[in-house]
Structure 1
Amino acid sequence: MVRSKRLFATSLFVSLLIIVADQLLKGWFDNNFFMYQQVIVVPDFFSLTLAYNKGAAFSFLSTAGGWQRWFFVAVAVGVSSVLTFWLARLEEKQKLQAVALTLILGGAVGNLIDRAFLGHVVDFILVHYKREWFFPAFNLADIGITTGAGLMILDMIINPEVKKQQ
């Protein structure tokens, strides 16, 4: 049962926008960059690049032999299903939680598409300090997931009474 049809529809639409934007960007980088090519945007800090990740966050299990692809596909399908049902149960007043879940859902499905159809996730954002320290490359879907997780934590902090009522 959908508690707030407007909130649910809006959330699904925004998730779809995130998925489309993520896939368009990944496709552009995949077609216009060669592997590990870097275009410096902000010297000593931010570059655009092309990298593939066969594992999870921070390349976890990336060298596991191939089984991890379908494991992560299954996890993403399960998580996306739970997030969709969770979104359907939200009330109109739970907007921050809806935004958080929407971002996570869009990011999870964006990376799921890569993993299912390509066998790896396409990353294109690289944050670094000079040539001495590099954060693992990431993409728009990862930004959605991370931002959504941060907003979930913020929602738990600023709206603790909502959790007690459910």
Structure 2
Amino acid sequence: MNPPANTSASSPARPARGRVWPWLATSALVLVLDQWTKWLIQQNLPINASLPVTGFFNLVHYENPGAAFSFLAAADGWQRWLFTGLALAASALIVWLLFRHRGRTLFSLALALILGGALGNVVDRLVWGHVTDFLDFYITVGGRSWHWPAFNVADSSITVGAMLLLADEWLRSRAARHATLPR
């Protein structure tokens, strides 16, 4: 006698299946765009130079041996390996999460952006020992300017990815809340 057919109603829930390569390709695109823009700055703008673009934005060429907001930039060099190791560990976790949750579009896009940005800064740390920052936004009030710390495409990608992760969680929790409401 044949066993009963496995129907979707009786089978256990499985994660949505999807392809992971579009997310890895997105990460690769971010990595290439990040490295290309940093190369353009390195080739065309001297270190510590500033090129005004608008009344609130400059292109600059800074070398940051630290992390975000130049955290630990003045350390003796060990921070290069710490931040590289952390980024590589986070990247491995992200790749694992991408394979596990590749059917979740917003979540996977967020992770892909974070992965591409993390790897962009890892390349800088491994090749140059610092991260090249070049986007300088500021506000001027009463003749005095306040600048946001300079950043790059990788940093932007990580930030957008983090915001998308928050949006994904908010949407999922909202959907779960609505699913449990009595009708």
TM-score, structure 2 length as denominator? 0.82
User: SS at the partner of 1:124?
Assistant: strand
Q: How do residues 69-108 of structure 1 correspond to structure 2 at under 5 angstroms?
A: 69-92=80-103, 94-108=104-118
Q: How do residues 44-59 of structure 1 correspond to structure 2 at under 5 angstroms?
A: 45-59=56-70
Aligned equivalents of 1:136, 1:143: Cα separation in 2: 12
Matched, 1:27 2:45: no
Aligned equivalents of 2:89, 2:106: Cα separation in 1: 22
In structure 2, give the amino acid aligned to 1:152: L
Q: How many residues align?
A: 158
Superposition deviation, residue 103 in structure 1: 0.4
Aligned equivalents of 2:165, 2:49: Cα separation in 1: 35
Aligned equivalents of 1:127, 1:24: Cα separation in 2: 20
User: SS at the partner of 1:61?
Assistant: coil
CA, structure 1 residues 157+123, in 2 after alignment: closer, same or farther (shift >3 Å)?
Answer: same
Match of 1:114 among 116, 121, 124: 124
Superposition deviation, residue 39 in structure 1: 1.5
1:67 paired residue number: 78
In structure 1, give the amino acid aligned to 2:82: F
Superposition deviation, residue 85 in structure 1: 0.5
Contact 1:3/1:88, CA 8 A, preserved across alignment: no
**Fraction of identical pairs, as percent:** 41
Contact 2:65/2:130, CA 8 A, preserved across alignment: yes
TM-score, structure 1 length as denominator? 0.90
Superposition deviation, residue 4 in structure 1: 3.5
Contact 1:4/1:88, CA 8 A, preserved across alignment: no
What runs of 5+ residues in structure 2 fail to find an aligned partner?
A: 1-14, 177-183
What runs of 5+ residues in structure 1 fail to find an aligned partner?
A: none
Aligned equivalents of 2:47, 2:138: Cα separation in 1: 17
- Tell me: higher relative CO, structure 1 or 2? Use CA pairs within 8 A at least 6 residues apart: 1
What do residues 120-149 of structure 1 show as CA deviations (whole Å, max 9, x unaligned)?
A: 000110001135201110000000000000
What do residues 42-101 of structure 1 show as CA deviations (whole Å, max 9, x unaligned)?
A: 11x111110011011000011111100001110011000000000000142x10001100
Superposition deviation, residue 41 in structure 1: 1.5
In structure 1, give the amino acid aligned to 2:101: L
**As a proportion of its length, which structure holds more helix?**
1
1:16 paired residue number: 28
Higher alpha-carbon Rg: 2
1:159 paired residue number: 172
Superposition deviation, residue 35 in structure 1: 1.5
1:135 paired residue number: 148
Contact 2:18/2:102, CA 8 A, preserved across alignment: no
